[in-house]
Structure 1
Amino acid sequence: MGILDLFRSKPEGAPARSPRADWQTFTGLDDPNLAPFLYGGAETESGTFITPSKALFNTAVFRCVDLISGSIGMLPMYLMRKGANGALEADEEHSLFDVLHSIPNGWQTAYEFRRLMQANALNEGNAYAQIVRSGRRVVALHPLHPSRVCVEQKDDLSVVYQVTRKDGRQIELPQSEVFHLRDFSTDGIVGLSRTRLAKEAIGLAMQTEKSAARLFKNGTMVGGALTHPGKLGDEEFENLDTSLKDKFSGAENAHKWLILEEGMKAEPFSPSARDSQQIETRNHQIEEIARAFGVPRPLLMMDDTSWGSGIETLGLFFVRYALAPWFVAWEQAVARSLLTREERKTHKADFDERELLRGSIKDQAEYLAKALGAGGSRPWISQNEARDYVGLSQRSDDDANSLKNPMTQPANGAKAQEKNL
């Protein structure tokens, strides 16, 4: 289909087409929706076109996407199995364990795969990966760029994915062959792009930044004026101009004092209200973008709090309200697309977010001491569980696996004496 075919009227009696994300008609070359379609993005009131890839040129957007996707990528993801006692344990023998935890495909690490998928979900609203199976076993996940995927729900409520390959050919994949991670959705089928929803905030931020850049390139930035009670001749003016450039221009001559003659006065210019307002606007746009992605402002390098207990609380806030919903989205998407009906009863995917929730060494020591029963309280973890928490190897003796209070147990020597008696 050529570009001009988009403007041709449909013949009478032609069947109505079902709505699809990749189909759009225009009334003519003056249709206001044509320019955004050709540019591949949405036009904003500030006069710029925002696409998911172009939005990343804004440092606040890039930091939000980088922070969330990097956090999701760095955390280990395990396939857990319910044990005989109901406790969850890693099922390393399952083929899906390696795909989720270590090697999703032949060219990406698990970190790279999860980070790419999460970035696509944040930018585009959707992240797709083709499922490769050997029999019923999932052996690989091949990521698909969202721009090459069109989702459609049939009349029988089944979902199919139209994928455009690099050679231009289109293939149709059923839902069982696509791992789909979606952001907030209004129809339950396709997620909404945060960069498109926040296009006005991002567009204004980019235009404000462009305005500042144009000021440095084209604007007149004069620090002050020299006034003379009389009139300078051409030679005197040239001498004064040369002296200023030679002795007072450049960073190495910053803050030097002028020596003025013949009643001249130096009058510095103060920053204008417009300059101050531009700084406030740029800071406000960072806050707007942070709100769209759910990232606390200090994590965007905004100096809003001291780097102490306040930032630790913000870190917990970030995990609880920005990352936790994505943990659930990933885990349930794995259950829907990668596990069979029988496996869902015994297995689940699980992110290990403990690395982000750990406190200081002192806090961890106090936590583990109380958990082991220090102070006479009833212990609720064993020594081996505590060692595993801090990354140490487990002990083989029986006492290391038991819940015994060290404050109420006799010492080893007393045990031996009681045994001899």
Structure 2
Amino acid sequence: MVDRTGPVQSWESLSLDSPLLTEFLREGATSASGVHVSELTALRNSTYFRGENLIASAIGMLPTFLMRRTIGADGKEVTAKATDHPLYRLLKKRPNSYQTAFEFKSYMQQLALRDGNAYGLIVPDYRGRAAQIVPLARGSVKPLLSDDWILTFEYRRPAGGKTILDARQVFHFRHPMTRDGLTGLSLRDIARETLGTAAQAERAAGKMLKGGVMAGGALETEKELGDEAIQSLRDSMRERQMDGEHAGEWLVLEDGLKAKPFITSAKDAQYDELRKRTVEDIARYMDVPRPLLMMDETSWGTGIEQLGLFFVTYCLMKWFVAWEQAIERSCFTPAEQDADELYVKFNEGALLRGSLKEQAEFFKAALGPNQAYRSVNEVRSAFDLNPKTGDETGPDAIPQPSAAAESAPKEPVNDR
């Protein structure tokens, strides 16, 4: 027998590092529109989801290489991939035992956008070099800067208790914008009012549709219609509504009937304008071009290459630099930082490749015949082709202008 006389007891157990508990306890998380902007509220906004997905996916899919600068026998600087270093495999293949490089980078990028910060525990090898980076639970890490400017991190264990981690043990990747120089800004917090307004507009439109007040209009007359006439008119209108070929057509009215349309569409109620405004605001917060957010009034056309260049230059480039310098700060040993030989490089060129025709024209100009600045093997590597071997006058060398090209007579210039 169930005792129903006592108080109802119902609760959900949450760990102290749970992001849900953080949202529950967060002060001022309710926007001016009255909507509590949670993580799911933001992700359910199609514009925010599209923008975050674009940035995180682009960062995740781009190759990230560990490079090394050396001085060649001829005294010139030579750069090559540092494939013998464990960090090279970590960045390119497997950062930890359960994530691929794409999964790791895209996940950390998402956290940097939503929370402003992403933290990972650096697992060193026997030489003290970073061998793995394991993401730490959201809300479990807090950076601390002592009075003598020594950086440490306070970490709350999932099983309870706190410990202090040295800066060499933590990989910290954050949003470029910060208020204290230690933690990045949360995009969800900064765009709270815009996200709340957008959610409230969607909710209002949904309630209007659910309430069934989307009638197209009314028919009115000064005469009195009988029940049979009213039913006949209703049946006639319903038949026309069921026939898609006559959708939107007007009726020929009798007995002095007048049509009075209702203004109840989402566009007439200015929901459409409000949604467009919130889309533009979110695009500004995320630095994502409007066409990439699927704005229907924006033309793609032949400007797709310029659109990609805009996205890389004004949105992704700052994230590339943030990733590169965060890895170098957290994952390089002090000796490697002092030597200044190793560096991290995102291959953003993968996003800037145009059509085959444009690539052909670009590499044709790079190979010469006059003032060439790329070798045959450099061009082949851009297409993932194996290099050809040769001496200084072979395929490894930058093509030089031929004697025939230099001595060829130039056509006279027509000044007319």
Q: TM-score, normalised by structure 1?
A: 0.82
**Match of residue 125, structure 2, among 123, 131, 134:** 134
**Within the alignment, does 1:45 sit opposite 2:36 as a pair?**
no
CA RMSD between the two structures = 2.7
Shift of 1:81: 0.3
Shift of 1:106: 1.1
What letter corresponds to residue 193 of structure 1 in structure 2? Answer: S
Deviations 1:177-229 (A, max 9, x none): 11001111121111111110111111111111111111111251111222334
Q: 2: CA distance between counterparts of 1:407 and 1:230?
A: 97
Q: Is the contact made by 2:143 and 2:182 (CA closer than 8 Å) also made in structure 1? A: yes
Deviations 1:148-186 (A, max 9, x none): 222222333223323333334433322111100111112
Shift of 1:259: 5.4
Q: 2: CA distance between counterparts of 1:76 and 1:189?
A: 27
Shift of 1:274: 7.4
**Within the alignment, does 1:372 sit opposite 2:367 as a pair?**
yes
What letter corresponds to residue 323 of structure 1 in structure 2? Answer: L
**Within the alignment, does 1:97 sit opposite 2:88 as a pair?**
yes
Q: 2: CA distance between counterparts of 1:166 and 1:218?
A: 46
Identity of aligned residues (%): 42
SS at match of 1:114: helix
Residue in structure 2 matched with residue 359 of structure 1 by the alignment: 354
SS at match of 1:163: strand
What letter corresponds to residue 394 of structure 1 in structure 2? Answer: P
**Match of residue 106, structure 1, among 97, 108, 111:** 97
What letter corresponds to residue 125 of structure 1 in structure 2? Answer: G
What letter corresponds to residue 322 of structure 2 in structure 1? Answer: A
Distance 1:210 1:310, change over 3 A: same
Q: Is the contact made by 2:214 and 2:265 (CA closer than 8 Å) also made in structure 1? A: no
Shift of 1:239: 3.8
What letter corresponds to residue 160 of structure 1 in structure 2? Answer: T
Residue segments in structure 2 that go unaligned for 5+ positions in a row: 1-16, 406-416
Q: Is the contact made by 2:121 and 2:169 (CA closer than 8 Å) also made in structure 1? A: yes
Residue in structure 2 matched with residue 416 of structure 1 by the alignment: none
**Match of residue 198, structure 1, among 179, 191, 195:** 191
What letter corresponds to residue 290 of structure 2 in structure 1? Answer: R
Q: 2: CA distance between counterparts of 1:369 and 1:162?
A: 55
What letter corresponds to residue 113 of structure 2 in structure 1? Answer: L
Shift of 1:262: 3.6
What letter corresponds to residue 36 of structure 2 in structure 1? Answer: F
What letter corresponds to residue 119 of structure 1 in structure 2? Answer: Q
Q: 1: CA distance between counterparts of 2:122 and 2:286?
A: 28
Shift of 1:46: 0.8
SS at match of 2:77: coil
Shift of 1:257: 5.3
Structure whose residues are more often helix by fraction:
1
Residue in structure 1 matched with residue 145 of structure 2 by the alignment: 153
Distance 1:221 1:39, change over 3 A: farther
Q: Is the contact made by 1:162 and 1:172 (CA closer than 8 Å) also made in structure 2? A: yes
Distance 1:386 1:200, change over 3 A: same
Shift of 1:353: 0.5
Residue in structure 1 matched with residue 211 of structure 2 by the alignment: 218
Deviations 1:348-400 (A, max 9, x none): 111000111112212211111111113xx122211111111122222223311
What letter corresponds to residue 103 of structure 1 in structure 2? Answer: R
Residue in structure 2 matched with residue 208 of structure 1 by the alignment: 201
Residue in structure 1 matched with residue 400 of structure 2 by the alignment: 405
Distance 1:208 1:382, change over 3 A: same
**Within the alignment, does 1:293 sit opposite 2:286 as a pair?**
yes
What letter corresponds to residue 338 of structure 1 in structure 2? Answer: C
Shift of 1:280: 1.1
Distance 1:409 1:335, change over 3 A: farther
Residue segments in structure 1 that go unaligned for 5+ positions in a row: 1-21, 23-34, 411-421
Q: 2: CA distance between counterparts of 1:224 and 1:382?
A: 72
Q: Is the contact made by 2:64 and 2:345 (CA closer than 8 Å) also made in structure 1? A: yes
What letter corresponds to residue 348 of structure 2 in structure 1? Answer: E
Shift of 1:246: 4.5
Residue in structure 2 matched with residue 277 of structure 1 by the alignment: 270
- How many residues align? The count is 377
Comparing 298-307 and 191-200, the one that deviates more: 298-307
Residue in structure 1 matched with residue 414 of structure 2 by the alignment: none
Residue in structure 1 matched with residue 70 of structure 2 by the alignment: 83
SS at match of 1:381: coil
Q: TM-score, normalised by structure 2?
A: 0.83
